[in-house]
Structure 1
Amino acid sequence: MAGMQALPRNVLLAAVASILSAAALVLVATIFGGPSGLGSRPADDGGIIYDPGAPTFTLCAGALDSHNVPFTSHSDERPFGSYLQQTLDFAPFEELFSAVNASAGTLRTRGEAHVTVVTPPEVDRVLGPAGVTIGEIEAIAARAGIQRARLSPVCLGRFAGTLPNPATKADEGAFLLYSLVVADSFGDLVGIRREIFKLYRAKGGEGALFQPEGFWPHVTIGYDRRDLFIEDGIYKGPNYCYAHIRLAT
């Protein structure tokens, strides 16, 4: 210490700063860069956790481009018959279904592909009672160019299990369901939902009942018993990811 006290003050302060900086770097490396332990971090993959035994599936690169696919209207007056969707070409998804079903072996497909943008329960239970019609919803979607909405694949999602709270005896037991989880890459679809929300609020709708961002876009690929929804306790976001998707060029 006597030697350090003999040093000029500015030199002493610089030395102390260097020591503290080196110690901080060691601490950061220990917490964030260690090979194991509580502080180690995997490579940044957006927080997605895949099944380590799942294969990688391939999807045609243009599968999510729907600008040349005609819009499909769903305006049935029966309960849960009205909803809004972005319609996709089924052919590339049929190929993905075949690849998935080659291992699952028990799946059914609807024979069409789409991304639901406004769900039947949202129309029947929230928007409709406030006076928002499916015609008005579709008009907003048409003005926004719903068939040109830009999507990108995230992963293949899978649910293989029992429902947390089966509504009926028929819903007891195991289910198997696969979907392509997609990203609304530029906010095109959530933008449509926000415009619908504006109309809903203008008609006196209670804001707490419709969340424009409460939206998990996906394409149903196949299922063994029936499709499953949020009402069943199933959320189809990145949490649902099972396998990687590779785009075929």
Structure 2
Amino acid sequence: MLIDTHCHIDVTEFDADRAAVLARARASGVEALVVPAIDAAGWEALLALCDSAPPDGPSLHPALGLHPVYLDSHRDADLARLETLVAERDVIAIGEIGLDHHVDGLDPKRQRRLLERQLAIARAAGLPVLLHVRKAHDEVLALLRRHPIPAGGIAHAFNGSLQQAHQYLGLGFKLGFGGMLTFERSRKLRRLASELPLEALVLETDAPDLTVASHQGGRNSPEYLPEVLEVLARLRDLEPSEVAEQTTANARAVLSGLG
């Protein structure tokens, strides 16, 4: 059985057929989805969706956070509300949070303050974090060293260097690999996925984004997670069942709320 450690199944792209997508994901072997938030406006709907997961689909586990790309929609009051919700609700992680220096127009100082505040909330709650990092791995690693997260977390859609990868591992983090791994042109990513310890890796889709090669140009879906598994197993010359067992154990190790 597989765990999709990063899937935005709550977004509008799935409104027309969400139940069917979830049923197909379960039929393909996906037993659980972690559903990260992107802004405060979506928190209540995300929580409600996870509370009412259809019985023929995977279990749904909410993560709450303020995504750096949506910086302009975040308010200071959202942080106080995040603290309250984390105390009151069954939340598996703080996320999706991080730094993004790829998208133009995002104030780096404000991003950093927002991330530091959310790291503090995670630390106080004893929760792991789901990190979004683009062109900022060294800065995020430095922040994590200054503001340690004992529960660790996942560096989602990891695309850094081997050296940066080992620094995340040393801080108690796992590294998320998804649809980009299925593209033959992703040579650097494939090299990382084959060289890193298998115990460091978790699977994800980031659906509806970053789809697999077989559905290039279309909507990504949690039902495609086995395609990521197959490529990872082939790169490491292992049986898919062995990789599935280990990556699922890795996800459960860092996301204790999965049970």
* TM-score (ref. length: structure 2): 0.23
Larger Rg computed on CA atoms: 1
Higher-RCO chain (CA-CA 8 Å, sequence separation at least 6): 1
* TM-score (ref. length: structure 1): 0.24
**Higher-strand-fraction structure:** 1
**Higher-helix-fraction structure:** 2
